[in-house]
């Protein structure tokens, strides 16, 4: 993580010491680097230079308004999966005309809001959704722009919980049925066919499955063209992984090269929906050691961050590197755990750390699926978020107050 490095024996975010951030904003706190966000975006822009393409940032990966605004200023579109995420796009200064709306369970209210704001495209994920969208569009006197999200039955070689392109997954329509459904959609005057969408999973490190899926999408596009259905775009999703531990992660250009080769010579605009690869390694979770506890079989470093702040280790058994902000004392092996009342509340197992009570630690690669998956379990206030920009630090989300957590609740009379 280039913008989170050690200087003079202590960790920095860009030009700001993490110790300073902890002193000013407390812990746990998510700390993001604006430079890291900008560089990750530039890697996509460089790889796509010279072709008609639109990046649609996957809001689910990190929906903080300041982060979304950074991308909006860079001209990105947005991939959303709820009406709430559409509201965030607008609040962050994003352009609804650059929004694609994915997700298997869109409600009528969400469809109305998206149509009213004039989004670029709905990624339709079932025949039932297709007909509901046509009804909603008719009620508003509008035409709904659509792409069918097709399920190509390609193994993305990733964790089963974040695989989305196999026959057993809930996402999309089987590619074998897609041609028929497109012909059905073409008969509905309330719908405007714009493209095909496909997304096979997340934390992808091998470009071959994406290129394979792209080949199937191109074959479908050619079949539709023969039937008189002209497409404006092909949406090949996101999914490029990041380095959490010792993974070999291809450069963005190298990852996209096989996909672009499949699309060579085609006139349709290319849409991509990156998320994790834009924000994952642009953030750390800063936390404090509350206690060091020695057991018969294991030692525990009990920190003030927990599974409610970063759910990925408990949910996926995911690995996040954990480092001392300022190493000191004798190193030992610890399970790094939080205060939540669950045995599954761990951030890392068997980590070598040189820490003492009340020292700071940084949990790396926390920019994606950290804050967005956090909760108030055990009535814990969610963490603060700050953005570092060179020597400046900006509070981009205040720490929740406990009283806010039950402000909407009422006692019985």
Locate the domains of the chain by residue range: 4-32+280-405, 34-277
Would the annotation count 351 as a binding residue?
A: no
Q: Is 34-277 the same fold as 4-32+280-405? A: no
Its sign, for the CA torsion 165, 169, 175, 178, is negative
Would the annotation count 85 as a binding residue?
A: no
β-strands 233-235, 384-389: how paired?
unpaired
**Are 130 and 184 contacting, i.e. CB atoms less than 8 angstroms apart?**
yes
Catalytic residues, which ones?
341
Q: Which CATH class is domain 34-277?
A: alpha beta
Would the annotation count 215 as a binding residue?
A: no
Residue closest to 235 by CA, chosen among 162, 153, 172, 187: 172
Would the annotation count 44 as a binding residue?
A: no
Report the alpha-carbon distance of residue 325 to residue 323 in Å, rounded: 6
What tens digit of pLDDT does each residue of 263-306 get?
999 999 999 999 999 999 999 999 999 999 998 889 999 999 99
Would the annotation count 369 as a binding residue?
A: yes
DSSP state of 249: -
What is the enclosing helix (H) or strand (E) of 233? strand 233-235
Give 158's pLDDT tier (boundaries 50, 70, 90).
low
**Are 74 and 35 contacting, i.e. CB atoms less than 8 angstroms apart?**
no
CATH for 4-32+280-405, among 2.40.37.10, 3.20.20.30, 3.40.50.1220, 1.20.140.90? Answer: 2.40.37.10
What tens digit of pLDDT does each residue of 7-65 get?
999 999 999 999 999 999 999 999 999 999 999 999 999 999 999 999 999 999 999 99
Residue closest to 199 by CA, chosen among 242, 248, 234: 234
């Amino acid at each position: 993580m280039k913008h989170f490095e050690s200087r003079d024996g202590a960790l920095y975010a860009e030009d700001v010491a993490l110790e300073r951030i902890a002193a000013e904003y407390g812990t746990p706190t998510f700390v993001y680097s604006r430079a890291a966000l900008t560089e990750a975006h530039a890697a996509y822009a460089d790889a796509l230079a010279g072709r008609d393409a639109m990046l649609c940032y996957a809001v689910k990966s990190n929906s903080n308004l300041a982060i979304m605004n950074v991308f909006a200023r860079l001209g990105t579109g947005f991939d959303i999966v709820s009406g709430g995420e559409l509201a965030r796009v607008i609040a962050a200064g994003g352009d609804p005309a650059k929004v694609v709306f994915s997700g298997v369970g869109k409600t009528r209210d969400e469809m109305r809001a998206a149509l009213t704001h004039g989004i670029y495209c709905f990624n339709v994920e079932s025949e039932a959704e297709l007909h509901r969208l046509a009804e909603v569009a008719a009620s508003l006197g509008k035409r709904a722009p659509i792409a069918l999200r097709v399920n190509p039955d390609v193994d993305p070689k990733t964790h089963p919980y974040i695989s989305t392109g196999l026959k057993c997954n809930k996402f999309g329509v089987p590619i074998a049925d897609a041609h028929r459904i497109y012909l059905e959609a073409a008969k509905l005057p309330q719908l405007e066919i714009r493209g095909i969408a496909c997304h096979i999973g997340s934390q992808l490190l091998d470009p071959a499955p994406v290129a394979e899926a792209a080949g199937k999408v191109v074959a479908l596009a050619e079949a539709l063209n023969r039937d008189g259905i002209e497409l404006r775009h092909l949406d090949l999703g996101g999914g490029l992984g990041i380095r959490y531990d010792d993974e070999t992660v291809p450069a963005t250009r190298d990852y996209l090269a096989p996909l672009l080769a499949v699309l060579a010579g085609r006139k349709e605009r290319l849409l991509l929906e990156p998320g994790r690869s834009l924000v994952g390694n642009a953030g750390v979770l800063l936390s404090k050691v509350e206690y060091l506890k020695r057991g018969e079989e294991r030692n525990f470093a009990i920190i003030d961050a927990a599974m409610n702040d970063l759910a990925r280790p408990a949910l996926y058994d995911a690995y996040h590197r954990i480092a001392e902000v300022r190493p000191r004392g004798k190193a030992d092996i610890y399970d790094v755990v939080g205060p939540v009342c669950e045995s599954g509340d761990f951030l890392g197992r068997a980590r070598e750390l040189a820490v003492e009570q009340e020292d700071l630690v940084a949990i790396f690669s926390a920019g994606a699926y950290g804050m967005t998956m956090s909760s108030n379990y055990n009535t814990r206030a969610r963490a603060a978020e700050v953005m570092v920009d060179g020597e400046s630090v900006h509070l981009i989300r205040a720490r929740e107050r406990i009283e806010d957590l039950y402000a909407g609740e009422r006692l019985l009379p």
